Amino acid sequence: MKLTKNIQTIARRTLLKEAEAIQKVTAFIDDKFELIVSEILAMNGRVIVTGIGKSAIVANKIVATLNSTGTPSIFMHAADAIHGDLGMIQADDMVMCISKSGNTEEIKVLIPLIKHSGAKVIGLVSNMDSYVAKHADFVLNGTIDEEADPNNLAPTTSTTVHMAIGDALAISLLNARGFTSRDFAKYHPGGSLGKQLYLKVDDIYPKNELPIVVQTALVKDSILEISRKRLGAAAVVDEKSALVGIFTDGDLRRMLEKHTDFSHITIGEVMTPNPKTINKGEYAIHALNKMREFDINQLIVVHESSVVGFLHISDLLNEGIV
């Protein structure tokens, strides 16, 4: 099928319309918005978000964002609500009803029932002269000029604006609570993001062997130690067990390029002095950043000046932190 229109122009126009709509609704962020944030912070219940059609999809997204940023939330489909799901609403909850027109029949039926339960209603609408806007306890104004499609029918700009307002609400609540990256990690323990926030060096290095050689040891003996421990490197210490260097596969290759007979060479003569280390209490992401900074594959783990372990780039890959 041959494209007869300028697709790139259409795509850019769509994005610009939605961006302009978001820009315009910033004017509606006022004391009423701040009051909604305060009410949610003060309540003992949950934020229940409801809608129908595309608004139900937006509601699901807002619920996911609120939950992940510390505000307990539940999705309730507006059509299912009047067939039994109203039972999930408690008097301490606040229910956000999303409707572009503000006159969606299912939502109009729902609002009196929600109020009867004792819960408060937040309306998120694009029509401030609507049933929802007039009957909700609080209103989030998502007014738009037009949808992005040529017929001004397909929910595009309106759904984008409603999701953006949901994000603004979630981030406002996050900041008001002093929600930190540590808190965020509790709700995102899986995947690389969560592991970057909570995984520590201590959680990884004990799984590895600990190859250590004394600097006066012969290279041939040290190679056997490295081979047994299978990390491609060994920490080099002095007679008092203080760390003085590291011997890696790279050091071995460089030695072989210079010497044909290494039967009498000690590890201290060919090691790399002042190796890069990481403290055992550090976060694993810091170890990864240090490996990237110095373009190395392993770090020696230390605790109070003592060598306690090894951390290899493959360990971080296996943990999914990269």
Place of tokens 């306890």: 137
115: phi then psi, degrees, rounded to nearest 5: -65, -35
Contact 200, 284 (CB under 8 A): yes
Q: What angle do CA 183, 123, 78 make, to 5 degrees?
A: 90
Report helix, strand or coil for 178.
coil
The binding site comprises 77
Print burial letters for 253-271: b (CB count within 10 Å at least 16), e (below 16).
Answer: eebeeeeeebeebbbbebb
Q: How many Å apart are CA 117 and CA 120, to the nearest integer?
A: 9
Contact 54, 73 (CB under 8 A): no
Report helix, strand or coil for 86.
helix
Strands (E), 11-105: 47-51, 73-77, 94-99
Host H or E run for residue 279:
strand 277-279
In this structure, is the dihedral angle defined by the CA atoms of residues 18, 19, 24 and 28, taken in order, positive or negative?
positive
Closest Cα to residue 107, out of 89, 92, 123, 85?
Answer: 123
The binding site for Zn(2+) comprises 77
